Amino acid sequence: MTETEGLFSDDAFDREPREVVPGVMHLPGWLTPRSQSWLARQWDDWGRGPIPPHSPLINGHPMSVRLTTLGWHWDSSGLAPRARHFDDAAPLPVPDWLVRWGRKAVQEAYSPSHGGSWPALSEKEVAAWAGDYTPDVVLINYYEPTARMGMHQDKDERSSEPVVSFSVGDTAIFRVGNPQTKSKPYRDIRLASGDLIVFGGPSRYMFHGVPRILPNTAPADCPVRSGRFNMTLRMTGWDKQ
């Protein structure tokens, strides 16, 4: 064994689309550098909207991430059409182009060409299913290099359609857990700038988290020079009326 062998997991080098566990698809480098720059500009614009980036309180303590939302507001009590802590402001809407990106992400992630075990549909069936995917809430979390996210489930939505997540900036260690418990079994993977991860089906309600950010790992041309943001798209299944 060489001096450096064993220092890195296979995940550090495996940059091909793959199924992490049934229902969880990881597509490295899915966003082009141009797409990442576009997302970063939009994120900056959204941050100047009616609900500024903020750290929600969980059990009286601020989260280490800063949150921006589209479509619906989120706090520790769940999703709401308005932000009670921000003068009852309504979030900016989810733009049509981001809905299209979400559909494309679902279609490509669950393409049978990637060999995933779920949902076991043909290309035509996946395309039809993805065409109905209409995310109406987007949560954007900015992680400073020291930020983290504890194990949790995305279960504020009534819909069980997949969660789509884009990453821009420094690499994050993403912990892929199980639907029953915050503890093991889980698996840690690296989400680099431009990576796409989609989780649905048997893993839609898995516990997941970000135990660590790897500082100074963003590409040289990445617009986010310190830390990273991830953008999650979901369908709520709720009616705002």
Q: Which residues are annotated as a binding site for Fe cation?
A: 152, 154, 208
The answer to whether 136 and 232 have CB atoms below 8 angstroms apart is: no
| Cα 195 off chain centre by | 10
CA 29, 34, 36, 39 dihedral sign is negative
Tokens 């915050």, residue located: 182
Taking the C-alpha atoms of residue 194 and residue 32, their distance in angstroms, rounded to an integer, is 7
Among residues 192, 196, 119, 189, which one has the least CA distance to residue 161? 119
Instruction: Show binding-site residues.
Output: 152, 154, 208
Q: Which distant-in-sequence residues (6+ apart) come within 8 Å of 231 by Cβ?
A: 39, 43, 138, 139, 140, 165, 166, 168
- Residue among 194, 230, 189 nearest 211 (CA): 189
